[in-house]
Chain A
Amino acid sequence: MSALTLTMKTRLDQRVDMSPLVCQKLEGLSMAEIAAIELQNGKRKIRVDSLFGIKGSDTQNLVIQGSFSKLDFIGKQLDGGTITVNGDVGAYLAQEMKSGTIKVQGNAGLYAACEMKNGYLEITGNSGDFLAAALPGNKQGMKGGVVLVKGNVGERAGDHMRRGTILIEGNAGDYCGSRMVAGTIAVMGQTGRYLGYAMRRGTLLLWNQPQLSATFNDCGSHTLAFLPILFASFKSLGSRFAEESEAFNRVQRYAGDMSEVGRGEVLVRI
């Protein structure tokens, strides 16, 4: 069975809600039924077959070709299966994803992986603000799984993050790890201002010395035993995080944010 492949026919002016097109909702549907699914497009609805050319039949392996930045909610609440996207995606990619794999060969918009529960999300390009964050008004962001971004991420990455791992090969914007409850964010590139602002617990693992707020206290240099295990868990990823030369276990440890409960940590490679 070949992958169910949706190829973009036209680029619409209005945004498209792609949330009906997740593997678990497509399971068991005929091609005609999939073609007839209606997607919200601005204030109107549009059939799948008027937006996409449809090929293949494996609904558990969905491919979206020619995607662009107005396709929102791709992989929302995905619960098993694989979604591969060629092109950029809009906002709310992998929102509340439960399990499975999403790979995007392009850039992602705002709130990618927001409130994600489990599974694996890979973005080869850049990701917008509020990566893996909580939706406005909610208190818990990402709760599990792994997010890998090969490019840069915007501001507030991991805002209110509760659990899970975010791996960023590029740079992170301001307020990275803000209001973090727990979890791990690793950034190979540079980080912006107000790193870990009001973080309660959790780990920010950095390759470069950040500009730290006065509310982070230096705890000294240490060899930490959990780091080799953490890096070993990245071995299967097609990423720089999997490279042995990038792994380390010697870090400078900063504790904070002392204006909050202060049980979080910023670990900087030394």
Chain B
Amino acid sequence: MIINGVTIDATFAEAFGMKATRVIITAQNEKWAMISAQAMTGFATSVIACGCEAGIERTLLPSETPDGRPGVSVLIFAMGGKGLAKQLETRAGQCVLTSPTSALFAGIDEGVQIPLGKNLRYFGDGFQVSKKIAGKRYWRIPVMDGEFLTEETTGRVEAVGGGNFLVLAKSQPQALAACEAAIEEMLKIPNVIMPFPGGVVRSGSKVGSKYAALGASSNDAFCPTLKGMTKTELPADCESVMEIVIDGLTKEDIDKAMRVGIQAVCDLGTENGIQRISAGNYGGKLGPFHFHLQEIMA
């Protein structure tokens, strides 16, 4: 398959089942809601070492938030329910509770309920106040700037993590420009995050390593400087490969995000140095979710 001169490989991205939740952070203004959200989603690019994958889904208008203030919705993904709960609580406690004027609410009501403010309330040292409003329990925790308001729990749902595609380009600036264009479009899709820095990862990995202690290592088949040293997947004039990883609440959400992202890359076309779109997989044996690039773009 070729779109605007860009080859779409007959391959697929392989993704895994994850647990996820959404939380809504509000603040006095969008600036401070965003600061809090950025803190909460910091160091959350990959479950390999961060414990979770988290990202900002979108900003919310005051009319869309529970307390009528500007807000940001955040999605957090982890491999297991316990890990998700731990990461959520730690990040809520250290990044949102601490953030001036913030409040924290559940972004998903259904599913298994996991603690949001349920244990954070003890920070109030007995001065915390519970309020049950319209069936939901909130905690008002006294803090130095006033009160930190948080919902007691949020919903945990089944989700999908690890959707991806690779952009092969003639130069590094062209690969990055294409990924930026893709991310701009993908951010418009609800229920997904691209957890890596700016949504783009330049250090895609393969399973295994020559070093026994490492479970993953650089994906040498897609490293342009190794073209003459390894069984490369790259054309001779490819100088740079970048990857976009997508976590979503459902497979369909990731399908949509991949479609608009790949389309944005293809729109730049060969005249902007874009050569191929490929994807990372493990032979289809590890992950239950397969995203076939040509099917998505059909």
Chain A residues at the B interface, C-beta cutoff of 8 Å: 144, 163-164, 182, 184, 201, 203, 222-226, 228-230, 232-233, 263, 265
Q: Say which one of B31-39, B81-89, B130-138 lies at the interface with A.
A: B130-138
> A225 touches which one: B127, B132, B149 (CB < 8 A)?
B149
Do B134 and A233 touch across chains, with their CB atoms under 8 A apart? yes
Report A-chain residues with C-beta under 8 Å of the C-beta of B138: 226, 229
Do B133 and A225 touch across chains, with their CB atoms under 8 A apart? no
Report A-chain residues with C-beta under 8 Å of the C-beta of B134: 233
Consensus secondary structure, chain B interface: strand
- Contact of B129 with A by CB under 8 A: yes
Report B-chain residues with C-beta under 8 Å of the C-beta of A265: 129
Beyond known contacts A228-B68, A232-B66: 7 more, CB 8 A cutoff: A203-B129, A203-B131, A224-B146, A225-B103, A226-B131, A233-B133, A263-B129
Report A-chain residues with C-beta under 8 Å of the C-beta of B132: 144, 163-164
- B 122-148 binary contact with A (CB < 8 Å = 1; else 0): 000011011111100010100000110
Do A225 and B130 touch across chains, with their CB atoms under 8 A apart? no
> How many angstroms between the C-alpha atoms of A223 and B103 in the bound complex?
13
- Contact of B67 with A by CB under 8 A: yes
> How many angstroms between the C-alpha atoms of A232 and B131 in the bound complex?
14
> How many angstroms between the C-alpha atoms of A203 and B67 in the bound complex?
19
Known A-B contacts A226-B138, A228-B67; A182 and B146 likewise in contact (beta carbons under 8 Å): no
Report A-chain residues with C-beta under 8 Å of the C-beta of B126: 263
Do B66 and A229 touch across chains, with their CB atoms under 8 A apart? yes
Report B-chain residues with C-beta under 8 Å of the C-beta of A144: 132
Report B-chain residues with C-beta under 8 Å of the C-beta of A233: 133-134
Report A-chain residues with C-beta under 8 Å of the C-beta of B127: 263
Instruction: Name 12 interchain pairs, CB-CB below 8 A, sorted by A.
Output: A164-B132, A201-B129, A203-B131, A223-B146, A225-B67, A225-B103, A226-B131, A228-B68, A232-B66, A232-B68, A233-B133, A263-B127
> How many angstroms between the C-alpha atoms of A198 and B129 in the bound complex?
17
Chain B's closest residue to A255 (CB) is B127
- Which of A201, A229, A230, A263 has the largest count of B CB atoms less than 10 A from its CB? A229
> How many angstroms between the C-alpha atoms of A194 and B278 in the bound complex?
74
Report B-chain residues with C-beta under 8 Å of the C-beta of A184: 131
Chain A's closest residue to B149 (CB) is A225
Do A226 and B146 touch across chains, with their CB atoms under 8 A apart? no
> A224 touches which one: B66, B68, B130, B140 (CB < 8 A)?
B140
> How many angstroms between the C-alpha atoms of A144 and B133 in the bound complex?
10
Chain A's closest residue to B133 (CB) is A233
Nearest 4 pairs between A and B by C-beta? A233-B134, A225-B149, A228-B68, A233-B133
- Which of A182, A228, A230 has the largest count of B CB atoms less than 10 A from its CB? A228
> How many angstroms between the C-alpha atoms of A201 and B147 in the bound complex?
17
- B 104-128 binary contact with A (CB < 8 Å = 1; else 0): 0000000000000000000000110
Do A182 and B103 touch across chains, with their CB atoms under 8 A apart? no
> How many angstroms between the C-alpha atoms of A95 and B140 in the bound complex?
30
Chain B: minimal CB distance from A200 (Å): 12
Do A229 and B147 touch across chains, with their CB atoms under 8 A apart? no
Report B-chain residues with C-beta under 8 Å of the C-beta of A203: 129, 131
> How many angstroms between the C-alpha atoms of A241 and B67 in the bound complex?
17
> A229 touches which one: B129, B130, B133, B146 (CB < 8 A)?
B133
Report B-chain residues with C-beta under 8 Å of the C-beta of A182: 130
Report A-chain residues with C-beta under 8 Å of the C-beta of B130: 182
Do B133 and A226 touch across chains, with their CB atoms under 8 A apart? yes
> How many angstroms between the C-alpha atoms of A55 and B34 in the bound complex?
61
- B 229-245 binary contact with A (CB < 8 Å = 1; else 0): 00000000000000000
Report A-chain residues with C-beta under 8 Å of the C-beta of B129: 201, 203, 263, 265
Report B-chain residues with C-beta under 8 Å of the C-beta of A223: 146
> How many angstroms between the C-alpha atoms of A223 and B129 in the bound complex?
15
Chain B: minimal CB distance from A68 (Å): 34
Do A229 and B140 touch across chains, with their CB atoms under 8 A apart? no
Report A-chain residues with C-beta under 8 Å of the C-beta of B140: 224-226
Do B147 and A225 touch across chains, with their CB atoms under 8 A apart? yes
Report A-chain residues with C-beta under 8 Å of the C-beta of B69: 225
> How many angstroms between the C-alpha atoms of A226 and B147 in the bound complex?
9
